[in-house]
Structure 1
Amino acid sequence: MDSTRFCVRCGRETKPEELINGLCIDCYLKHHGVFKEKPRVKVVVCPKCGSWYFKGVWHQPLDLREVIRRELLSELYRFLYSEIRVLEVDVASDIRKISAGEHGVEAVFTLEVAGKHVARIRGLVAVETEYKVCDKCMRRTTGSHKALVQVRFDPPEETGELYREVSALLHSMGLENSIVEVEERRDGMDVKFDDVIAARRYVDVLARKYGARTSESFKSVKYDFQAGKWSGVVTISVRIPVIKENDVVKYRGSIGVVKHVGDGSLKILLLETGVEVEARLSDYWSNVLRKPREVYVDSKVYTVTAVDKTTVYLLNEETGELREHPLTPGNYGLKPGDRVIILSDGEREVVVKKE
């Protein structure tokens, strides 16, 4: 009988393909072992925000056990024999003293041995913990930033609810960890980011949702010889049109009233024709859509006294003033007794039912 069918250590009969260097799996684990040296990791954690540093990058905060687990999954191979492959690691304890002058954790390793066996091994891992302030917290402390988003509203006088929406987006998008500072201004706000990608994500949403017009510039600060490029601050200018429901606007030269504002679009009732059209908020920047300051709303309220095929007859009951106005498609529904107001853009007047 072939001698390779027996474990050279305990003599147990074993299938040849299951032997590892002449040993059965039990003897291999007991007498040979899977580690060529005690596993150890160094964990670098920011004391301010809990971020952890690994392979040159700061990562989002995690539970310390999970940080250790992830580092072991990546680095444990350095402490194992070449025939061992890591399948999973479970950190089974918090950091505690494991020997004189050394702290660590207990962990359970799921390993593949020589491509033939799966074994679960419980062992100790030495852990060195270093606390170091991360780049983001350092920039927050010093006020330095990589990107500046300048949000401005047009016109700036009516920004109340819209300002709150735009500000709340910073939190609903989960960008808090990238924000260095938010400064409220009379006509908008300035948001400083320590991450250019996060700043551009925010700006993209503002453009898509609110029809914002954007422009970007870069101001170099110093040359990074190691990276071979200039470092500096990206400044993104964002202008948002302030248009709300019931606002009077001009769309392609016609006076209308905004009936609905959605993501990047709005519905406008054209008063002269009575037709409802859909427009893009971004049309504001090409003057296709305007919020004209010259539109005048007469404060007087008139009562419709009669309507014929061509004319609407109006009476101001307070002053006794009588007016006649051409009947347009937008006024076909008017009837005696309706109360109306008059809008004017300086060129023509439009009669609108008072709601």
Structure 2
Amino acid sequence: MGEETQMNATRGFGLVERARAIAPLIAGEADEIERTRRLTPAVVSALVENGLYRALLPQSLGGAEVPIEGFMQMLEEIAKADASTAWCLGQCCVCAMIAASLDRDTAHEIFNTQPGILAWGAIAHEARAVEGGYRVTARWDFASGSRQANWLGAHVRIASADGVSRKNADGSPEVRTILFPAESAVLHDVWQAIGLAGTGTDSYEVSDLFIPERFTAFRDVPSALREKGPLYRIGTGSTFSLGFAAVSLGVARATLDAAIALARGKHQSLAASAMRDNQSVQGLIGRTEGDLRAARAYLHATANAMWRDLSATGEFSAAHRSAVRLAATWTIHQSAKVVDAAYHMAGATAVFRSNPFERRFRDMHAIAQQIQARDTHYEDVGKAILASE
């Protein structure tokens, strides 16, 4: 391992240790996060003060720019304490990767003004090119972490001044990411969801907003990168996949641990002995533990193999993208199975809000409904496998 790689790894694991250190605070705030559907000020302050939002920000801007494994482990630790907090943190960390495609002064203005948090939602709508920038009137959805952010972004198709949609050389629509202060938008409180309730994944809207050219970028386009570190070659799409799969592992780990703790002391109704002495329970715990360890090992092995190749060659290939997509999708699905097994193992105990099961059950199934867990990803990977010889 080279000296620079060693330093990056140290930074990554430093963030993991900080995540573990603030996990008890986050766990203590989890009920309030659920009730208010927002991360609490105490949690946001702890994340900011410990530099966790800056995990994927370039070193040139004072960020950690950690290897992907450090980012994944950081999210896993936070998810054990609260899934909504981990989800918002992962979302905003990945959004910060856009800094690698902005000029330095613009990136500094966005990310080095407290709290330096950027959030965005899905690709939608169109912005019209005007002198010096773009104008847009639109509403976007799914902005996890927007309630903590001081900047918002959106991915929009670009139209010329006369309203004609601009195309790339391959005929696809030109899409840019636009960035603007959160105060320029109206946020709509729409996130009434069965799981990940505390993420505040609300909608946001702007009307005839002018976006200067320098506050736009081509997202996930290698030729547009100002930063040359391997992290930014991965792109936001695959980084979201790895990050949210790590969140699912943290939720699964915490839920299974809670079931194990319950089994050590609980007597099932009408049973003469404790659950810990029941062979069916013992076998279920053993198999479920194996499933979880296998999922974690597969995800991290895939991420590490990709990172080694990327660091050596500077290329994030189609094969890497396919491998990451498959591992992340399968890990989320496997984590959901672990949570289901733990939930059912707990019996009637699991349905009470005072016990550590029902929220994690809801959070896990909300995660499994997101784009990173779509079954169509298996079809895409299968198609690629069949096309190769």
The structure that is strand-richer by fraction is 1
Place the TM-score, normalised by the shorter chain, in its bin. under 0.3
CA radius of gyration, larger in: 1
User: Normalized against structure 1, the TM-score is what?
Assistant: 0.19
The structure that is helix-richer by fraction is 2
Q: Which has the higher contact order (CA 8 A, sep 6+)?
A: 2
